[in-house]
Amino acid sequence: MGPGSRRRLAAERAAPVTWAPVARRTGSTREKLLGAVLVLPAVALALVVVGGGVGATALQAFGLLPVVGRPRPGTGAFTARPGELFAAIGVSLSVAVVATAVAVVVGTTAAVVIVSRTRSSRAVATLGTLTVTIPHLIAAATVGLLLSDAGVLPRLLGISPDDWAPWVGGPLWGAAIVELAWKESAFIALIVTGTLATRIQTYDETAALLGAGRAQRFRHVLLPLTAPTIVIGAAISFVYALGSYEVLWLLGRTSPEPLPVLAVRLFQGVSLDARNEAAAVALVTCVLALGAVALTFAALRRTATWR
């Protein structure tokens, strides 16, 4: 038994003095069994699809599933292109981190505006809801049309293509980050709004009655209570941005390539060996994504409201 669960047990014995919005209750054996049966179909499906897909990718990456010839087990696919692989990891992580950070700040601010019941809250809510429904491919094409050298924005502003900053295909991946941050901020805004619309509002009102200012309430009431939602939303956005192919392919540049673009190029390469290398790149992407999710859960366990 780890120190975490021991602490939790102690907290439960001391019960019911918890200040979390939803108190934890241990269910009966029957309830636990029913719960397990209810999630079983979803878990089985996820195991088959994710396990099968990742499993097949892993087999290819380690040379166990060649298109032609005998399986030649080994890790050669991982070490075949060290420079390109590390550059890809760097680009993918940077773009995903920056896009997620922007999305969290914009999304959380938008959520606070939405629940503030001011005149602008309805407009922000409508914008957020509409943005979520736009597919990423369409959004990427839209951002491309807007921000490319001869795009709508430079034309409206009367700036010549030569003087316009290289948003699309530029060294800072501007257009790709804008697209991911825009779409993901709407997603984060909606889920954070969902949390804020719960009884958290009563805590907020109580704090207001006790004389807390707007900034104090945000810092000491809203932020700690919505932190788990924000962290989960950020993790989902991050993992999405890390695995996104079409946005980075449409709005990105020739070199260095992000992980998914590198994987697809190698997979489509005429050399049959490159398929193993593509699988290796895909597996590295999976591991990074799983790592991000693991870190998220570790962080969640530290937040007070999770317990």
Partner 1 sequence: MTPLRHRRRLAAMTVATASALFALAGCAAPAAPETAEFSDWDAVLSAARGQTVQLWMYGGDDQGNAYVDDVLTPAVAEYGVTLERVPVTDTRDALNRVFTELQAGRDDGSVDLVWINGDNFRTGKEAGAWRCGWTGLLPSMAGTGADDPLLQSDFGTPVDGCEAPWHKAQFTLAYNAEAIADPPTTLAGVLDWADAHPGRFTYPAPPDFTGSVFVREALASVSGGADEVPTAFSQDAYDELTPALWNRLDELAPHLWRGGDTYPANETELGQLFADRQIDMTMTYGPATLTALVADGTYPAQTKVLTLEDGTVGNASFLGLPVNSDAAAGAMVVANVALSPEQQAKKAEPEVWGQFPVLDLDALSAEDRELFDALPTSPVVPPYDELSRNAHGELAAEWVPALDDGWRQNVLPR
Positions touching partner 1 (CB under 8 A) are 1, 47-48, 51-52, 54-56, 58-59, 65, 67-68, 149-150, 161-162, 166, 169-171, 249, 253-255, 265, 267-272, 275
* Shortest Cβ 286–partner 1 spacing (Å): 12
274 burial via Cβ count (<10 Å: 0-12, 13-18, 19+): middle
Residue 297 exposure: Cα atoms within 13 Å on the Cβ side: 5
Q: Which residue has the tokens 């290289």?
A: 166
Query: Cβ 289 to partner 1, closest distance in Å?
Result: 17
Reference 232, options 288, 303, 286; nearest CA is 303
Helix ranges, the chain (H): 3-14, 29-46, 52-61, 76-79, 82-115, 119-133, 136-147, 152-157, 174-196, 200-209, 214-217, 223-243, 246-251, 259-268, 274-302
- Tokens representing residue 214 in the block: 């707007």
Closer to partner 1 by Cβ: residue 1 or 17: 1
Identity of the residue, 1 or 22, whose beta carbon is nearer to partner 1 in the bound complex: 1
Query: Closest Cα partner for 241 from 155, 301, 186, 181?
Result: 181
Tokens 């938008």 — which residue?
110
CA-angle at 186, arms to 173 and 295, nearest 5°? 70
In the bound state with partner 1, the residue whose beta carbon lies nearer, of 32 and 122, is 32
Least Å distance between CB 44 and partner 1? 10
Alpha carbons within 13 angstroms on the beta-carbon side of residue 165 total: 6
Complex with partner 1: residue 52 or 90, whichever CB lies closer: 52
Q: Min. distance of Cβ 118 from partner 1 in angstroms?
A: 42
CB of 59 to partner 1, least distance (A): 5
Q: How far is the CB of 214 from partner 1 (least distance, A)?
A: 45
Which lies closer to partner 1 via its Cβ, residue 32 or residue 220? 32
Q: Which is nearer to partner 1, 23 or 270 (CB)?
A: 270
